[in-house]
Amino acid sequence: MSTYVDVNTYYGVLEDVNLLAVDDDAILNGFLNILNTIKDQDGISEKPFRPNSGSSLYQLLQEPLDDTTVFKIKLALEDAAKQLTRATIDLKQSVVRVNRDKGCFEIHLVLTNSITNKSITGFFNLAKG
């Protein structure tokens, strides 16, 4: 029996993605939803009834591909991870690096399931478009 079940927000966008995300996939899906929720420079979210939720990653899209922006992304990940209830983020194993060939930041997340203590990994690119 599953501990966590969520509607997968990437259903229909990616090949072979199920409508429901369960357990570790649900945790990763939830964290990606936090990261994709825009929080403005004043810390106010686009969600009217959850003004403190979200992340500031969106504001970093136009920043230069350099170490300063990598540091800002890590801070945004750390801030967003405070909103997690089902997992914790391992900031020492999570990696943010610049990929100048693709013009993006590559983000490798390592989360830990709060119930099973199992590592969950996710990988995505943060690019201008």
Cβ distance 28 to 8 under 8 Å? no
Considering the four listed CATH numbers 1.20.120.530, 3.10.450.40, 3.40.50.300, 3.90.550.10, the one that applies to the domain covering 5-127 is 3.10.450.40
pTM of the model: 0.83
Span 84-96, pLDDT tens digits: 999 999 999 999 9
Report whether pLDDT(75) > 90: yes
- Name the region of 95 (left: φ>0; alpha: ψ -120 to 50; beta: rest): beta
Q: What does the pLDDT read at residue 14?
A: 63
Give the three-state DSSP class for 109. strand
* The CA-based dihedral angle spanning residues 11, 48, 110, 123, taken in that order and rounded to the nearest 10 degrees: 40
Span 21-74, pLDDT tens digits: 888 988 999 999 899 888 876 766 676 666 778 898 888 988 999 999 999 999
